[in-house]
Structure 1
Amino acid sequence: MRMNLRWQTFKQLPRLLTVPAADLEQQIARIQLMERSIGLPVKAAVIVVLAYYLFLSNWFDELSPRGGGASAPPPQIELKIIRQFFLIYVVVNAGVAGLLLAMEKAPRFWVQWVVYGISVMDALFLAGLTSVTGGVDSVLYWVFLGLIVRNAVSNPIAARQIILNVIVNFCYVLVGVAEVVTAHWRKEYWEEELLRQFEQTPQDYAPESFLLRLTLLIFMTACCYGVQVLLDKQRLADSESREYTLRQQQLQATGRLAAEIAHQLKNPLGIINNAAFTLQRTVKEGKTITQQIQIIREEVERSDRIITELMGYARLTEGAVERLNVTEELEKAIERVFPSGAKYEARIHREYAPALPPLMMQRGHISEVFVNVLQNAREAMSSKGNITVATRYGEDYSVIVTISDDGPGIPTQHLPKVFEPYFTTKEKGTGLGLAIAKHNTEIYGGSVEVESEPGKGTRFTINLPAKTVMRIRR
């Protein structure tokens, strides 16, 4: 029993350590804070100080190699390489600074990967500086810990952050490897009288300090990732709580509006009642009834339009807002429209994007949207052909769902009317399916669009906002 419990806990560990996907706006905000607001001033000061010590001061020249005494000659080859790399480092950072200062106008994809690339370059440059300032025991070791924290803030995407901090750890390992290799090289090729000045040899190299510091780097990497998981899960919970409250308030307000509209139905119904009463009297008196019948028909049509508007609103307060996975809801809709036992000849192609944000909606509403659009595609193709269901991440934290078919398409003159209630070109159709789909989507601030050409099929594009957005009409 205990073994099973431990195994179940172990199996759930990856899910517990999974970082909720931060939306693009939050990722850019992190980069703006860490890389531009904090990183640029700090890095500019560090570059100025390093330029002085590398080119205008003899401080690096006076450094003794690892294990040597005060009179040992400096590592001139390493120092020359560091100086050349520093010039390249300054040029690259100048370009990165320009991009960060104008990051609002730059493609966000570029900003993310440029920050990732400069983080790798920072780790390599720090490894070089550490190598010429005392090796694994250099005071610059503590900057590696700072880089790990910086990477955790600037790169919230789990895979990128872990790979980047593993690179930081590897760079410190390279410092230790370089220390051992240099000691070997000195022992083998230097003159015997110079070798006596370097009492540290590969046999004298003590790994305890190096292993302790490396363990601390690995521990810091794990801690930063763990803290990010906790903070991001709390952020996601708070965000979903706010979204749930906003959605509920929206639906309650819409329900009150539906009640008010229903109350307004009494007026046309009253007119219908009076007209019918007058019609009765007119028939008895033998007068023409054409005018009274026309009034009744007009008011009936008016009532019908109002009732159509109420169709979707009437059930708003019955259901509860839930946290829905788009992919799961699409699969349920496909199973409803194309049940496995029915053996439809239509082929369903799925192109689902990973890590889509959840939707805060009523399950019945989103189900009606997907089912009605899929059913329209099935009927248009006479249950034969290809249907492609695809999802992708949209702008403003939204989910885009496209449902396309290779059926006969929709005639151009019918396109503006496909979402109108009761419009249908089918013999047994009600004309309400696409109207309900459009209505349910617009309740949550979304939209449905259709593109079609005769003979080339039809594509419906459904935009579903994952966050509540209040739009002010002008």
Structure 2
Amino acid sequence: MCNDNTVDKLKNEFHYTLSKFSHEIRNPLTLISSGLQMIASAHPEVQDYKQWDDIMDNLDYVKELLNEFSTFNNAGRINLTSTDTGTYLKTILSSVKPTLDYLDIQLDTDIPDSLPIMMLDQIRIRQMLLNLLKNAWEAVPVPGGKISFSVRLKNPGICIDIRDNGCGISPEQQAEIFQPFFTTKESGTGLGLPVVKQVVEAHDGSISVESAPDHGTVFHIFLG
């Protein structure tokens, strides 16, 4: 059985390997991208070919994938600042509401005015919550989708519940969803929820999920 030191060593080795892998791919990718831009500048007619758009789309996908790797690798590094938690959470939800309104997805919120001032990495927490909200709106029916975001005090911190009426997650998938590279999406990287977990744990918090197929999902996030 692995002790904590062994687990930490394996994690560090994994993150180092992932960082090296991303770096080695990003350099030639930049050269390829620059070369294609030079070709398009010298021969604008190549952009009329459908294959050209396919090539550029695939390049954009690889760049996005590398950005996901970088996000995952750095999710546990946080910069804490004193945060008016209630105002901060309401601001995040306000930024999401126009998208949900456009998609005809109902958003219900319950954020008390009495939430404490907390030490948070505002960029990482925002990233974490937007990731969970995006998963929720991709899971719910449209129209008819519903997402609820509620917060309650839980000494010495807060508990955030994000609930949806979506397709749900099977028990087998629930056992894997926080593992890197596990995904049920055709174009997913499998890094979204692992990033969420890293951010939460970096804040000395915890995350759990309750779900059943066709009965929706709720994520419980504790931040201390």
TM-score category by the smaller chain? Answer: 0.5 to 0.7
Q: CA deviation at 1:308?
A: 8.3
2:210 matches 1:447: no
2:192 matches 1:423: no
The Cα offsets for residues 189-231 of structure 1, whole Å up to 9 and x where unpaired, read as: xxxxxxxxxxxxxxxxxxxxxxxxxxxxxxxxxxxxxxxxxxx
Q: CA deviation at 1:424?
A: 1.2
2:207 aligned partner, one-letter code: V
SS at match of 1:459: strand
Q: CA deviation at 1:363?
A: 0.8
Counterpart CA distance in 1 for 2:126 and 2:157 is 17
Q: How many residues align?
A: 165
CA gap 1:351/1:426 in 2 versus in 1, 3 angstroms = same
Larger displacement relative to structure 2 (385-394 or 350-359): 350-359
1:328 aligned partner, one-letter code: T
Give the alignment's Cα RMSD to 1 decimal. Answer: 3.1
Counterpart CA distance in 2 for 1:375 and 1:311 is 20
Q: CA deviation at 1:340?
A: 5.1
TM-score, length-normalised on structure 1? 0.32
Aligned residue in 2 for 1:462: 221
2:170 matches 1:400: no
SS at match of 2:185: coil
Contact residue 108 and residue 147 of structure 2 kept, 8 A: yes
Contact residue 449 and residue 461 of structure 1 kept, 8 A: yes
SS at match of 1:462: strand
Q: CA deviation at 1:334?
A: 2.6
Aligned residue in 2 for 1:128: none
Contact residue 438 and residue 447 of structure 1 kept, 8 A: yes
Counterpart CA distance in 2 for 1:340 and 1:373 is 14
2:143 matches 1:380: no
Counting only pairs closer than 5 Å after superposition, residues 240-389 of structure 1 correspond to structure 2 as 261=12, 265=16, 310-313=73-76, 316=78, 320-339=79-98, 343-382=102-141, 384=143, 385-389=145-149
Contact residue 337 and residue 375 of structure 1 kept, 8 A: no
Q: CA deviation at 1:369?
A: 1.4
Aligned residue in 1 for 2:47: none
SS at match of 1:461: strand
Counterpart CA distance in 1 for 2:97 and 2:182 is 24
Contact residue 75 and residue 198 of structure 2 kept, 8 A: yes
Contact residue 71 and residue 195 of structure 2 kept, 8 A: no
Counterpart CA distance in 2 for 1:335 and 1:415 is 29
Counterpart CA distance in 2 for 1:333 and 1:382 is 23
Any gaps of 5 or more consecutive residues in structure 1?
1-256, 270-305, 466-474
Counterpart CA distance in 1 for 2:125 and 2:185 is 24
Percent identity, aligned pairs only?
30
Q: Which has the higher strand share?
A: 2
Q: Which has the higher helix share?
A: 1
The Cα offsets for residues 361-394 of structure 1, whole Å up to 9 and x where unpaired, read as: 1111110111111111011115541111101010
Contact residue 447 and residue 462 of structure 1 kept, 8 A: yes
CA gap 1:371/1:425 in 2 versus in 1, 3 angstroms = same
SS at match of 1:339: helix
Question: Which of the pair has more CA radius of gyration?
Answer: 1
